[in-house]
Structure 1
Amino acid sequence: MKLAIVLLVSLASSLARAQYYYQGLMDYLENRILAIEDRMELWREQSHRYRTELLDFKKLTADMMHGLGKEHGFLRQDLEAAGVRVERAEREVEYLETNASPRACVHKADKVLEQGTWGAEQRRRGGAEEEGEEWQEVQHAVSDCIDIISSIRSVKILKRAGGAKGVWVRDPRSSKVYVFNGTAGNKVYQFSSVMNFSSSPRINHSRQLRLPSPWSGAGAAVYNDYLYYIQQADNKEVQVIKYDLLSGSVEETAMVPVAGHTPVYSLNPETVADVVVDDEGLWLLYAADEHEPNINLAKMDPATLDIEQMMDTHCPRENAEAAFIVCGTVYVVYNTRLASRSRVQCVFDVNDVMISEEAPLFYFPRRYGAHASLKYNPAEKQIYAWDDGYQILYRLTMKRKLLV
């Protein structure tokens, strides 16, 4: 009996302790749930506040974007209107340049001034017939051609191939096209025709000519199956190389009359000298030295590379990008350091037949950058141009000089 009472007392004590323990656990869980509810309420309040702020920010952003969209539309309209005005102004400027533009830089040669003075004196003496004969003889000594450029008739962008600078030319006596990619190397790419070059996917998908010495600059020319290019090396003299394209051998070499490696065009410093072909034959454009501000011109014998005559064109090298010769008349093309529209701004007639009012001053159509080279083809009356990697053809309209 006593054992049963002890067991009952022990069980009652255990139940009391268990009840106390579970009651404490329930109180703890209830407190934790209340804390979680308080935090959830706080989170709900913060979430509501954040959502309200986000909606306000979204509305503000939408209003700002709407305003920016309107301003962008107005700006676009202004830019389109400005573009229309610029195009209209360019057309008007080109029209004025074609009809009554000022002439920037045409100078008379001293020998012709002396001849004109001598002719006036002969007229006073009654020797008009002899004076006329002597005048014709002086003019014939340099050039017989009397054509000048009237305007650029059309522009054809052939393709984009190669680097930003280079030369591409066509031999006036054949249909072959030659491409000089870059400003230095010993490879020249030959194509059978302009169409073949245009349809070729890459420059190197052609016949490659490996020259015996490297060419430099953008001053190469092709004339009567001969390649004329400039060779220069550090601390060495500058040379013109005549290379026979049929036999693959060097025919002649000649020293260029320059002191140092001064570029002939300041905007294309890689070109120290420029070999040029026109209706009269072979010419060389160069800068005598770094102190010479103007471009010099030399008439060369295509067979021997002998210099037959040297002249100062009076055209400055500063801001010049390229030049070409048509019928014994030098056309120097200028630009700006930040490339804009190329323009012919200086003209030099080796015969001094062109009068100042007649000298053309015109702009090239706006394209991609600045010309690295401009090569005139007298057989086609068009210019092969290299402009920022694009190969372009400029077809020219010619007119006759006004004889004075």
Structure 2
Amino acid sequence: MAGIVACVLLSFVTVVNAQVQTSFMEYIQSRMGVLEDRIAQWHDQSTRYSSELRDFKNQVLKMLENIEKERDSVRNEMENTNIRVDRLEREVDYMETQNPAPPCVDIDEKLTELQISKKKKKEKYEKLTDCSDVISQVNAMKILKRYGSSAGLWTKDPIGNSEKVYVFDGAGNDTVFVFSRMKEFTLSSSTRKAARIKLPFPWIGTGHVVYGGNLYYIRQGDEFQVIKFDLANKTVVDSAVIPIEEQVPVYGLSKFNYIDIAADEEGLWFIYATKENERNICLAKLDPSSLGIEQMWDTPCPIENAESAFVVCGSLYVVYNTKLPSRSRIQCVFDVSGTISSENVPIVYFPKRYGSHSSMKYNPKDKQIYAWDDGYQIIYKLSMKPKEELY
């Protein structure tokens, strides 16, 4: 009997194990089917994403190709525009040359009397050098940077080998910024790298020069005074009251300038104006040592619409503009030796840029003009020719 029971139990256990195995296998097969379905979905999604990515890549490449074509088209249009602008400027220059502005000779009886009465002004000027060049054109222009106020000046010493750059910010101040060389001034975003020289008296206007290690600048008090300041020792070497009565602004478009000191191959000059001759600019030769005036001239160059001036080889060049800034131009020339006049010197135009020049400082050493145009510092390279070629 026990053997029968054992056999029955063994058969029962075998049947149960077979059912469990069958259920387990069915479960495993079911899970594998679910995984296969999910893998198939992932494969389909990956294929779709790859296709979309490929389509997107093709779209981007096509857009980049179109952008490149548009950029080339815009570049060609800009080049054509520049060519047209250059052609237009040449045509304007030609028209202005063919139809020049009214001559800046306006002699009245009062001016004639003044010229006759002032014997010193009529004396023949004795040149100190053999310089005989005249400006023929502005050969090149370089915009260095934008720094400071709309009015100011920057310059170098034409005497000696110093490469220092002196910056005067504003038409009235008492601190001069000094950069050791041109590159340092160009690359500096501020005046932190500049040395500072605090002057004993504030300056007025933008008519100052650095010459032979000294700063010659204008101080306004009860009377206008020229101060000679030693830049190395930082001391006042000399000063003198300017012996010119009833001064008025020398430039119609730069009312802050009463005296403009200029340097050239001959030395130093005063450019000024007085109530006695309100309509025209005057010129005087300055002795750098004694600060005395050696000789004086009344020029035919009008004050109206003048913005700045400078002297080259003993000739005064007056730069004119309009109240609405246009192209600055040298429209009046006065030669103290009487060799040339405005009638036989062509009008020289400066490239149009920002506003008008608050200062233009000629450097006889490198034949360049250091200009301050509405806060921009600009270098003009000049082309020169002998005065004999004008005739």
Give the structure-1-normalised TM-score. 0.68
Q: Distance in 2 between matches of 1:338 and 1:98?
A: 21
> Which residue of structure 2 lines up, in the alignment, with residue 58 of structure 1?
none
1:104 is displaced (CA, Å) by: 2.9
The answer for the alignment partner of 1:229 in structure 2 is 217
Q: CA deviation at 1:289?
A: 2.4
Report if aligned partners of 1:263, 1:286 keep a CA contact under 8 Å in 2: yes
Does residue 381 of the first structure (1) align with residue 367 of the second (2)?
A: yes
Q: Which moved more, 1:339-348 or 1:96-105?
A: 96-105
Q: Which residue of 2 aligns with 1:154?
A: 140
Distance 1:100 1:402, change over 3 A: farther
SS, match of residue 293 in structure 1 = strand
8 Å CA contact 2:203, 2:218 repeated in 1: yes
Q: Cα distance, 1:253 vs. partner?
A: 1.2
For 2:349, what is the secondary structure of its paired residue? coil
Displacement of 1:288 in angstroms is 1.8
Contact preservation (8 Å) 2:129, 2:265: no
Change in 2 beyond 3 A, CA 1:185/1:332: same
Q: CA deviation at 1:141?
A: 4.6
Which TM-score applies when normalising by structure 2? 0.70
CA contact (8 A) 1:258 1:289 kept: no
- Aligned twin of 1:105: 104
- Contact 1:143–1:351 at 8 Å: present in 2 too? no
Matched, 1:294 2:270: no
Aligned twin of 1:308: 294
- Report how far residue 258 of structure 1 moved: 3.4
Question: Which residue of structure 2 lines up, in the alignment, with residue 187 of structure 1?
Answer: 175
For residues 256 and 139 of structure 1, the distance between their equivalents in structure 2, rounded to whole angstroms, comes to 21
Deviation, structure 1 residue 82: 9.8
Change (3 A) 1:99 1:195: farther
Deviates more, 1:197-206 or 1:321-330: 197-206
Q: Which residue of 1 aligns with 2:336?
A: 350
SS at match of 2:322: coil
**Match for 2:91: what amino acid?**
E
Contact between 2:332 and 2:342, CA under 8 Å: does it hold in 1? Answer: no
Deviation at 1:214, TM superposition (A): 0.6
Q: 1:201 and 2:200 equivalent?
A: no
Question: How many Å separate the matches in 1 of 2:100 and 2:384?
Answer: 17
Where does residue 318 of structure 1 map in the other structure?
A: 304
Q: Structure 1 counterpart of 2:324, which letter?
A: L
* 2:348 equivalent to 1:362: yes
| Preserved contact between residue 264 and residue 317 of structure 1 (Cα < 8 Å) | yes
Q: Does 1:271 align with 2:257?
A: yes
- Post-superposition CA distance 1:325-360 (Å, at most 9, x none): 100111101111121111111110110111555313
Indicate how the Cα distance of structure 1 residues 351 and 380 shifts in structure 2: closer, same or farther if over 3 A, else same.
Answer: same
Query: What is the distance in 2 between the residues matched to 1:364 and 1:183?
Result: 23
8 Å CA contact retained: 1:183, 1:217: yes
Could you tell me which residue of structure 2 aligns to residue 132 of structure 1? none
Distance 2:381 2:297 in 1: 28
Which amino acid letter does the alignment assign opposite residue 372 of structure 1? S
**Which consecutive residues of structure 1, in runs of 5 or more, have no partner in the other structure?**
1-79, 115-136
**Is contact 1:147-1:401 (8 Å) kept?**
yes
- How far has the Cα of 1:266 moved from its partner? 1.4
SS in 2 for 1:209: strand
1:182 Cα shift? 0.6
Tell me, in whole angstroms, the C-alpha distance in 2 between the residues paired with 1:241 and 1:367: 33
1:265 CA displacement: 0.7
Call closer, same or farther: CA 1:265–1:102 in 2, change over 3 Å. Answer: closer
Residues 290 and 231 of structure 1: is their aligned pair in 2 closer, same or farther, counting only changes over 3 Å?
A: farther
Matched, 1:280 2:266: yes
Give the SS at the match of 1:92: helix
Q: Secondary structure at the match of 1:295?
A: strand
Q: 2:207 aligns with which of 187, 212, 219?
A: 219
State the 1:175 CA deviation. 1.2
| Cα distance in 2 between the residues matched to 1:267 and 1:330 | 18
Equivalent runs, 1:103-182 vs 2, <5 Å? 104-105=103-104, 138=124, 140-141=126-127, 144-173=130-159, 174-182=162-170
Q: Give the direction of change, closer, same or farther, for the CA distance of 1:332–1:157 in structure 2 (3 Å limit).
A: same
One-letter amino acid of the structure 2 residue matched with residue 361 of structure 1: I
Moved more, 254-263 or 187-196: 254-263
Offset, 1:102: 7.5
> How many angstroms apart in 1 are the aligned matches of 2:302 and 2:281?
6
Secondary structure, aligned partner of 2:174: strand
In structure 2, the partner of 1:395 is: 381
Number of the residue aligned with 1:40: none
Paired residues for 1:230-249 under 5 Å: 230-233=218-221, 236-249=222-235
**1:340-386 superposed Cα distances (whole Å, 9 cap, x missing partner):** 11111111011011155531311110101100000000000000000
1:279-306 superposed Cα distances (whole Å, 9 cap, x missing partner): 1000000112275211110100111111
Gaps of 5+ in 2: 1-78, 117-122
Pairs aligned (count): 299
Change (3 A) 1:107 1:360: farther
Identity %: 51
